[in-house]
Amino acid sequence: MGGFFGTISKHACAKDLFYGVDYHSHLGTKRAGMATYDGELFHRSIHDIENTYFRTKFSDEMVVNKFTGNSGIGVISDTDAQPIIVNSHLGRFAIATVAKINNMDELVDHCLANKQHFAELSMGATNPTELMALLITQGEDFVDGIRNVYDKVKGSCSMIILTEDGIIAARDYYGRTPIVVGKGEEGYAVASESHSYINLDYTTCYNVGPGEIVKVTLDGVQQLLAPNPKKQICSFLWIYYGYPVSDYEGVNVEEARYNEGREMGKRDYVDIDYVSAIPDSGIGMALGYSNIRKVPYMRGVVKYTPTWSRSFMPVNQSQREHVAKMKLIPNRQMLEGKKVAFCDDSIVRGTQLRDNVKMLYDYGAREVHVRISCPPLMYGCPFINFSASKNVMELITRRCVEELEGDNNKNIEKYCDPTTPEYANLVEMLRKHVGVDSLKFNTLESVVNAIGLPKCELCTHCFDGSSYGHE
């Protein structure tokens, strides 16, 4: 995944930039970078953050005041080293992206065939952000260049561009990832996550629409290109990787998760002593479930290491399992002899939850019932880099379908439909795999109701394969 932050201010922007980027740490674990412009020079630094925190890597540079200037951008990423600084016929600029480019090879070959070149490599391959910069510089101006990106990229791309006279923000053509603008007394902030500027005293003043391009200066927000009327914002923002106090499309993440718990509780009658959560993303759901069912909410497990990488992101399976184990600590006194419903966001590979459940029984739980805030994940995501998964067979659901049908694609629509016997068989197989007394998923209708946006504005591709555009 990834997230970016930019700010333009009447005064030095480095402090706001530093903290604003840091507030996107939940979205990336590999690379981070910041760039500022002081009216004459661009200043940039990029660091590897796989084994340390963003703040640790950049704090020394903050002390020596490396990031001078009143405007700047920064990014935390799970893909490439960025921001990239470019000198072109459009002028000098720095660019950061949140993107998934499915046709990288095709676009690189096209650029090379037109006698263009790439200056940087990222982990031995073409840097995707540099590729986006190259596509932009093929245009007559920034708007024309960004349109070129929209036309050519298969996947998605949102971007933030620091120019010599402001910040340009362009949201993915279908709005799969968000961009918000906050206004403060001294200037403006542009961010992937609205919570990133709350403590910096900015208030949301503008939500960038799908495919919309805006320019932010001290004078305000100027629309350069009107939004695309079609919207496909990722529903998984509210289910999993969004930060609880962020808002997307005016819908708060924690409120949506609370509603997901209420939706589940409306149709669940299992006899339990209390409800708990697999933290952190299961907490909001557990609270909603608790309140509508009028059962206590208690912490049967506690998260101790909130800054560990998300356990499904590391490519190595043993590393994923180790991370999953290390960050959760069971509370024996709360578990012994108890019947507990645990709320979680999703089941991807199934390994993490299975191991967590075994731990709960080992620590004395009498019964464990798992409630999942979304439907079973049936499709890989072709639009956003939120997982290291490269193959649909990494999904436990597809492996179950293959075992049941002999073909992981056979009758897949029936396995997505909660009214069919196929769906019931799938859930039962998942229950046995995880090793719980009962297992239930929210329906897609329940998720849409919890978020509160029309189904046609949400990307629900991972549940029903329904999304479109730029595959």
- Domains of the chain, residue spans: 2-231, 251-464
What are the beta bridge partners of residue 48? 31
| 380 Cβ neighbours under 8 A, 6+ residues apart | 387, 389, 391, 392, 394, 395, 462
CB of 181 closer than 8 Å to CB of 189: yes
CB of 394 closer than 8 Å to CB of 379: no
State the architecture of 2-231 in CATH terms: 4-Layer Sandwich (3.60)
pTM: 0.92
Q: Is the pLDDT of residue 313 over 80?
A: no
CATH number of the domain located at residue range(s) 251-464 in this protein: 3.40.50.2020
pLDDT at 321: 62
- Residue 280's pLDDT band, with cuts at 50, 70 and 90, is confident
Cα separation, 192 vs 148, whole angstroms: 22
- Closest C-alpha to 265, from 241, 285, 284, 248: 285
- Residue 164: count of CB within 10 angstroms of its CB: 12
Token duo for residue 181: 């603008």
Q: Is the pLDDT of residue 57 over 70?
A: yes
The rounded mean pLDDT for the chain is: 92
Cα separation, 41 vs 382, whole angstroms: 38
Token duo for residue 52: 């340390």
Cα separation, 137 vs 144, whole angstroms: 9
Cα separation, 197 vs 178, whole angstroms: 15
For residue range 237-277, what is the model confidence (pLDDT) as tens digits? Answer: 999 989 999 999 999 999 999 999 999 999 999 999 999 99
SS (H, E, C) 239-258: HHHCCCCCEECCEEHHHHHH
